[in-house]
Amino acid sequence: MVFYDPGHEAASEHTLSVFTENRVGLLGRVTATFTRRCLNIESLTVSESEVPGVHRFTIVVRASAAQARKVAAQLERQVDVLKAFVHGEDDVLVRDLALYKLDGRHAGPALDAVVAAHGARVLEQSDALVVLELTGSETQTAALFEALAPFGVAEFVRSGRVALTRPMRPLESFLAELEAASEQG
């Protein structure tokens, strides 16, 4: 039985953008921060950012807004973390890349129709296999997976989320603020 707790905020999906220096061992420290708070990382992508020498962690977590803000603040206390932002669902443009492998015997007009209807593309096709690619939301990649079920998906993989924020403020402006604050303090 679940009782309503007015002080307890419901968990929802949050995307964290964490900008860091590129240091060995940082990935382990970042993920340990979530583990200590008993938060499961739903998706994790790490890549270079638009600023040379700065990497972006895109982390998706189901948590309350307060929990997401607390974990972001805790991440910022780590030496190699420059800034951590928490974004709600409406604050980010997100995409996943999905690959689907099917037996090549399923190639034909029926499969072509499914591929076209979902905006996917054929990466490789032979008598042995067909490999499809779709870039889109998690919902779109899951919908294609379901549509391909009758053809027998032999393998499926989806990347971690990549995201850009809608309020466009360059990272350099935040880095300049951080540098100015450290010079004053």
CA dihedral angle for residue 22, residue 27, residue 33, residue 35, rounded to 10 degrees = 170
Res. 151 pLDDT band, cuts 50 70 90: very high
- Which residue, 149, 163, 158, is CA-closest to 59? 163
Which phi and psi (to 5°) does residue 128 adopt? Answer: -85, -35
> Of the candidates 161, 154, 126, which has an alpha carbon nearest to the alpha carbon of residue 140?
161
Mean per-residue pLDDT over the chain, rounded: 88
Here the tokens at position 118 are 């979902």
Q: What is the DSSP letter of 160?
A: P
The pLDDT tens digits for 50-95 are 888 889 999 999 999 999 999 999 999 988 999 999 998 888 889 9
Helix-helix angle 65-76:26-36, to 10 degrees: 140
Write the pLDDT tens digit of every residue in 68-77.
999 999 999 9
Separation between Cα atoms, residue 73 and residue 88, nearest integer Å: 16
Q: What span, in angstroms and rounded, lies between the C-alpha atoms of 114 and 82?
A: 44
Residue 21 pLDDT greater than 50, yes or no: yes
Nearest-angstrom CA–CA distance, 42 and 60: 5
What domains lie within the chain, and their CATH numbers? Answer: 12-91 (3.30.70.260), 93-162 (3.30.70.1150)
